[in-house]
Structure 1
Amino acid sequence: MEIRQLVLGAPEFAGRRVLVTLAPPLGERDPRYPLRGREGLLECMAGLFHSGGGGKLIVLHGLGGSGKTALVLEAITRTQGCCPACRRTVWWIDARQEEGLLAGLRAVARQAGLQSDRAWGGDAADVLWSQLNVLTQGWLLVLDGLDDTALLDGPGSLASGTGWIRPQACPTGVVIVTTRNGGDPSWGSGALFLPVRSLHADRAAEVLLDHTGDAAGSPADARELARRLGGLPLALHVAGSYLAEVMGMPDAFKGPQTPDSFAAYVRAMEAGSAPADARQALAETWRLSIELMRRRGFTGTDSLLEALAAFSDAPIPHTLLLRPAPLGAAVHALAGISGPVLWRMLKELAALGLLDLVSSSEAPENVVAVRLHPLIRDLSRTAAALPAAVRLMSAALALEELGSPEDPERWVAWQALTPHVLELADQVAACAEMDASTKLVSAGLATMAARHLQALGLFEQARGRYEAVLAVRRALQGDEHPATLDCRHLLSSALHDLGDLPLARAGYQAVWEISCRVRGEEHTDTLTARHELGRVLHDQGRLEEAHEHLAYVREASGRLNGPRHPYTLTARHEAARVLHDRGCLAEARAEYEAILAIRREELGAAHAGTLTAQHNLAAVLHDQGRLEQALEGYREALAGRRRVLGDRHPRTLQTQYKAAHVLRDLGDHAGAVELMTVTLRASVMVLGVSHPQTVRAADILRVWGADPAPAVGT
């Protein structure tokens, strides 16, 4: 490969002479640190060098710091001396500024054979390409760091092939541009786009380990830091170099908070005290990208990024969260934005590498979410944007299509939104200056997310969220406010699901007593609290007290709402459970059969309430000795719960537990042990080893002569 270097005069710009060099900056390539994770791109570029580019402008685009320049330097180095067909004269122009670009193009024209500076006039672009067109030897022209495509228009237009760059006009040359700006239509149809993305975790971890070896921690720790840095090569290099320097530093020069390992660096980043270099490495990229968007007519880009940065490090379902009307109402700088403009803005930000457009695995052609680069999120996150983000989330959760957080048919959307709701709640709670209104709205959103967690069977997570919301409600609204009572009720339900019956009973008792006083004895919420109190008393074996509460609720709800109302049926169902436990099997069976018929008719066979009635009817049939009928009932309930709730939901495990007992009583010992072992293993994973349901399953296996230890993990 022939590489020419020449420093020469150029036209004066603003009264000064511009000096340029056309030599590739090969000194920036450090052989100690291999280029990781770019094999596919390097192979593609080698093919393009060999073929001459096919008359295409090769556009390497990606976030600043993604390694575009390093990639081109590596491609040049690899083709030097190893592939005669790929050897080319190389011209390298630093294209970040217009004056350097134009001076460089003039120098290229001179090195390509232009005899006189006087020929470099108003038709300079035509002159340049007339010189390049007559070259017989292959050449490579690199324009490095060109973000503003308008600089390439010159006297004509880049897209039309009449600007400064016209690769389709010369079969012997290859033109490569590195840019942050891959989404500008001004590149035209003659451009071949090669995105340079952040590295995947394993390859990104290798970049860190290249700097530190194994002295800074395990490969797993390196992967976690690489993930936190978003796989951005520049940030990885900065962090790796920093850690390598710290590890070689005398202890006397290290401060107590100086991160000296991958894990310590992650902790420092989470605490906001990481070394500034990695953050500064991206700050200028962020600023320049925002300025470029502004020049292209997109105002409010920084405000949009700030709102997105308030959400979690997870795909952001923009079709739910970024609808134009709520977005314009929540973010002042985006007031009146239309759907097409918003969509173009997101695509432009993706082209600049500031965010990714994430496709659904089920519908790969339909983009359903966006995801911010982690460091961009860090740079854009401000407490001032939290109220707008909370308003956006509030509008999303109010959408009719989202439905109830307990509805399994809507769980896909709720699972997409829940991490963002919880992240917002944590940020709002940590912001001492946050206004009370935003705190209360955020608390309401967190309650809905916690309800979804509880519906998924994640009872401990739901409990923690309810406790956090309850603290906010009590501080801002008092113990007797309806919202406070509702939250305390939900907390008690999570405690009940976790098997903590004393705390659940105390919570329901308090809610019922306060609600009687402030709402009235027959208010719907008062009756609901009393109903749940009856359920806990039942589970504690206090059947007479439970019957008293449940009978009152059933009578009152029937009188107020009618005999087929869901509240009435739920109370009737719980009363039937008491009858069952008191040994009144015939009466309990008749009640369950009547309830099941109504629920199938009004709710459908797959509804959670229908499946619960079917489960409890099977339990009565089992106790009546009708084993085949009981097994069939459990199998139908189990199939429904698996389909609706999933294999590991606590209610699914409860049905499996009961079905295993029926198998045992039918003489299928091996089948019973196998099903109970599967149930125990899942219960340990979902509920923990100390949950009553887990303990019962382990005890039963011991009684049956089986060892529960392998399922428990001991």
Structure 2
Amino acid sequence: MDSNNVTGDSGGVLQAHSVHAGTISFGGAARGPGFGSAEAPWARLAGQVHGRDGIVADLVAEVRSAQPSVIVLHAGGGYGKTTVALSVCRAVRDAFSVRWVDASTSSSLLEGLREVALAAGAEPRRVREAWDGRASAPAVLWAALSTASPSWLLVLDNTDDLSVLTGPDGLIDGRGWLRTPPPGCTLLITTRDGRPEPWPESAARHRLHQLPEPDGAAMLKGLCPTAGDDLAAGSLSRCLGNLPLALWLAGRYLRNARTIPLVPGLDVPRTFGEYEAAWRDRSVELTDQVDRSAGPRAQLSSAWEISLELLADQGHEYARPILRLLSFFSPAPIPHDVLDAQVLAAEPVFHGLTARTMATTLARLRGAGLLGSVGGGKLPTCVALHPVIRDVTRAQPDVASHHSGYGLSVARLLTRHAEHLVHAELTDNEAYASLFLLHARQSLLEQVDHSPASCAVTAALLDAIACIVENGEQGSGNAEVLRKGARRIRTLVAGSGGK
């Protein structure tokens, strides 16, 4: 069993390379995050799906024939892989048991597959033993899936980090999570990795392309019918690279913009043509700021920066910094309870922020399509970022120049949140505690500034993690290791005279 160690100088500690998981695993299998689900996120399939009838029909035919039994749907971020996968699930759910797992992180994959194993009929005791590390979890899962009835379709969505699927000797060694389904069943994987090498030779790989321009125009018209004619919509779709996520953001923007009263001096795009002109101006502005070879990502960045400008024009001055802040959390859902305006208001960029303003800004970010909302059941009410929005937001020039500030703000929020969890006696709630540990681990990795202030914040966060661990299932031993780490950081800072 690994132990948790804190070694070296304060810089090494802050990089979190020596504060490793051990049995704590920051939301890994030893504790068992309580927010896993095997249910498909049907709510994401709202409205008409444009331009994907062909690929959906092809995938449905393969699922119904179960030949081949492993399907890889690949494309860059923002192309609509999740929407296509959901459309396939909707088309076959009358004849197949549909199961869905978010594979964007190791923790979400582990928890989702645990729910799949239980739903497939695995004995709960065996599942607990396997997910506690006392047996092979992939073996327990696939033993259940091999005898499950009726035939099933399992989707592993956003499998961009293939290491989460890897067995002892590689991705397709037959001992990891990726195995050949039994006859009549299908494993559908969505990923950005379209290389043939990682996947089984028998897997069918389908690349998802941009929408045809007429379908992109139809999508825009469906989102905002009064913003212009088909020709203008087609021109804007072409300008945005016919990328579904960019089109979604543009349509939501225009729908919101048209609710704003026209007053003198207000320069807000309200038509497809005006949005295209604003987008082109924004693209020129970004040319010298970002790597234009990023292609579709640069187009997406321009699209939501325009949305952020609209929110600022509407008086939501904190929309941009709040979105920047959220990108410094882990990819997991972020509980509303973490976002304490009182903590943030001490930072210059959030000066004057109130709880009411925070709630209003989050609602407007959701309305603009920049944030999602998840929760219910085992999961607390949370906000969630699309992976592409998170990644590209973090790459913005102004974010890079304030990396330390956002990182410290997240650490302070999590430290305060730990106090709330203890006070509300929520530390034994697996969903709350596991989400906290996931974000705390990410926060430790973000602490790249070795200043005394950063060291103090990191030490406080380690103490907060220790408190959650101590009050949960992982015991006082791990908590004491973390507290020793916090004391060592403080000793190192004191010994250097705070320099």
Scaled by the length of structure 2, the TM-score of the pair is: 0.49
Highest Rg: 1 or 2? 1
Richer in helix (by share): 1
With CA pairs under 8 Å and 6+ residues apart, which has the higher RCO, 1 or 2?
Answer: 2
Scaled by the length of structure 1, the TM-score of the pair is: 0.35
